Structure formats: C-alpha cells, structure tokens
Structure 1
Amino acid sequence: MLSRQVIRAFSSSHKVGFIGMGNMGFPMAQNLASKGFEVKGFDLSEKTLAKAEEMGIKPVQSVKEAVTEVDYIVTSLPRTSDVEQILHSSDGIFENAAENTCIVDTSTISPIAAKEFSQSAQKIKMQYCDSPMSGGVVGARNGTLTFMVGASSNEDFEKAKIVLEGMGKKIFHCGGPGTGETAKIANNLILGIQMIASAEGMVLGEKLGIDPKVLMEILAVSTASNWCITANNPRPGNIEGSPASKNYDGGFQVGLMRKDLALSLECASAVGAQ
C-alpha cells in the first residue's frame, strides 16, 4: 500500500470532474484545484461557472464533459433523485465515464440508494463511495471537513481518500456501501436538535439581559457546548464569517435540513427504530 506521503506526491497528476458547485461544492472544488488536482467543474448556474474559471477550475457545459477523461468524479448534490439522474442519464456518469473511475459522492442521500448505486457501479467496473461531509460552509472553505465514507473494500476507500484529503481533515471508513450516509444522517438528526436548542437558548439569554458574546463564551465551555455554539453560532456578530454574521447568507439551507431529517425518519421506519 502506498504511504500517505507518496499518495500526496501523486495528487497533482489526478484529474477530477466536479458536479454540483453550490455553497459547499464550490469551495471544495476550489481547494482541490489549489492543491494541484486538475479540476473540471459543472453546475447549472452560469454565474458559478464563470467564477470557477477565475479560481483555477475548468468550467464545462454538461455532465458528460465533466465525467470524461477523469480519474475521479466528485458529486455534491441536494437529493437522492439528483444523484440518481447524474448517474443513470444518457449523458451521465455510468454511460460516459471510463472503467475504474472512482465516484466520490459527497451528497447526503438515502443509505439504501447509496448501496444500489455502489452495486451498479461495480457491474461496470467503477467504484462508488458514499462520502457525505460535515463541517459546514466554513469547513468547506478552510478544507477542514470531516468525511464519512462507505466503500466496498479498503482499496476503494484508500483510493477515494486521495481526493478527500484535498478537501477535508478527517476521513473515516465507516464500513460497506451506505454506511457513510448512515453516519451522516445520524449526525444531522443530532445537529438539527442542537441547532434548535442553541438558537432558543441564545435568544432567551439575550432577552433576559446577558451579553450574547458572554453567553456564547460560557456555553462553549459548559455542558451545553456544541458545534452550533462554538463554530456556527446563530447570533449575528458572535463568530466572524459564520452565516449569522453575513445576514444568514450562504449557509446550510433550512430546506436541506428538512430533507435530512425526513431521511432519518424514513431510515428509522425501515429498521423499526422507535
């Protein structure tokens, strides 16, 4: 097995097709380009494509262009149905990417669907690793994301890790296909609860007269400490660069959290969890 040092030395020769350059995907693609990966990027937004070129990412006008003649395909899409379309459409990945292409899907989708996508990829000699991330927009910009990876083999995981290390700090092999999504859904179920509680607590404290920054500092070192308090505080001005301090612009959308919580309910129902 190649050492991590050797793997990193090879990173500049890898070609990546990046699909979905939104609030999370764009800085992820930018980090890959800045670390020597040759990145082609596709997004439905022409404005995003124009910005991509300025950041060293080659913009392309179709999924087909993005997935041909690359070693890796990274997807960052909102929903299971979006990933399914990108994989199975006539101009999509399965029809146009070469054998042995590694698909690194960072979307948060159904674990059941992720297993099916992995099986379909194996049949045509590709690798599909469900690799959802955590860390928010700030983590995406800073290259400090955590990735949770479901892979068919340790070899597939090690291959995916080459590109994931260009975008994140901690990469976990959770197990077989679908386990990365399982970890992410469990994380976001807990996160959703923490976000609500953190926002309610901050509002209550401020209305009762405590300085919100003082309250944040107290909560950060007390039993209520969590990521929503220390890194993504909901009070504007408490943390520089957070969505709250930018008029709540460019953060994780409420609609996507609703989607993730719905996925957690679907999974709970499927396994009989009460």
Structure 2
Amino acid sequence: MSRQVTPAVGDAAVAFLRRHTTARVALGRRGAALPTVAHLDLQEAHARARDAVHSTLDENALEAAVAPLGLPVHRVASAAPDRRTYLLRPDLGRRLAPGTTLPRAEGSVALVAGDGLCAIGVGRWAPPLLHALVPLLRRDGFTPGPVVIARQARVALGDAVGEALGAAAAIVLIGERPGLSATDSLGAYVTWEPRTGRLDSERNCISNIRADGLSPVEAAAKIAWLLAAARDLGATGTALKDDQPLGQRLARTGDGASVNNS
C-alpha cells in the first residue's frame, strides 16, 4: 500500500520557501509518483505553456500603447509565413520577409518588439518598459526609435531591422520561451552596430522581465546602462561586462522610478 511521504524539511521551511518563490518545492510523493494534485497542476502548467507558444500578438493594441511616446511605428514580418513554419524553421524568423523596406533612421536606437515564443509577454511588458526606457535614452544622448513591431520574430531579426534603419544599436524586446511557472516573460537583447550575421555572443541579454521577476522599470535602467557602456566600448556581448556600480540603484517613487547614483 502506498503512503504519502512527508518532505524532509519542516512545514515552516516549506511555507517560507513558497512565500518567496513561484517554483514548485516540496511537492511530496505518493508511492513512486507525485501526489495527484501536484501531477494535475503540472499537467495544467504544461498546457498553459504550450498555449503561450501559440499566442498571437495584438499589434493594434501594442501600437496604441506606445503611441504616447511620439515615435514612428512600423510593422514588419519575418520570412516565416506562419506559426508552424516559425517553430520548425528558426532561421526564417531571423530574416525579414522578402521585399521589406524601412525608412532610414541613421544613428538611432532601434526599438524592436517581437512576438517571439510568447506573445503574451510582449503585449504585457513591452509598453511599460518602453515608456520607462525612452526618457533614459534621451537623457543619455541617444536618439530613440522608431518602434518596430515584428511578427514571427527571433532575436536576430533585430540585426536585420537595425541594419535596414542604419541604427547605431538595436534593442529587441521579445517573448521568452514559456516555462511551467511563467508564461508571460519578456527578454531584452542589446546589440551595438546591428547587422545581419551578428553572433549571439555579440549581444547582451536581460531576461525574466515580468511581475514575479525583473520589473520593466528595473529592466529599462539596466538596458540604459548597458547601452551607454556599449557606446564607450564600441561593442556589446562577451566584450561588455555588467559592471554597473552597486550604488547605482533604482529609487522608487510614487510617480515611477528614476536612477539614483548616490
């Protein structure tokens, strides 16, 4: 006869961990398997993650959300004609659809919002991140924009977009691969002098931007710091180390947040 096995850690320790993480801890077991409740919870989480991969970006809502920034907004698509092709052919998601043209924006910072592997995260977190980031870019002497909304996009599509625009840098905000605990996570990728053929090692990534991860305001401050450092260095990626001073922290206020260098 199987029996419920009590976790090795005490109830108080388990309660403490569960208050501070969305990870599944001390699930216990029933015989050689998980308890039924935990098993069903995992099945549901897996189904939600699969659904998130097939979520669709509401481009109209995203454009309306970023309109107050006053930046030009363009829409593009990758060479992947549909979601199934996108998932089976990652290489097509890294290239612009044939015939795509974009007006030049020499020396600007291209702001690319792509659906990626989880459009939910882009629709939810890209607007507040951009609203926090654009003022920081202007403060640091960069020319922000345009905002390019990309469909069936992989990270490297930002290289093609940045090259077409003549941008000095590209920031790609893209839906991250869903997990069992998060189906709305946003990733941000910073590339200096974007051009087709850039390697992943030539860009910096900030991940887990969501309610239970890194906030959009904190992510915006980190992106701004990396971009300023990239300008000084002339490169991103493995050449650019995150040496942001510990004293440079976010000061939260009732009206938002700002970077405090004190």
Q: TM-score, normalised by structure 2?
A: 0.28
- Choose between structure 1 and 2 for higher RCO, CA contacts under 8 A separated by at least 6 residues: 2
Greater strand fraction, Structure 1 or Structure 2: 2
Task: Flag the structure with larger Rg.
Answer: 2
TM-score normalized with structure 1 length: 0.27
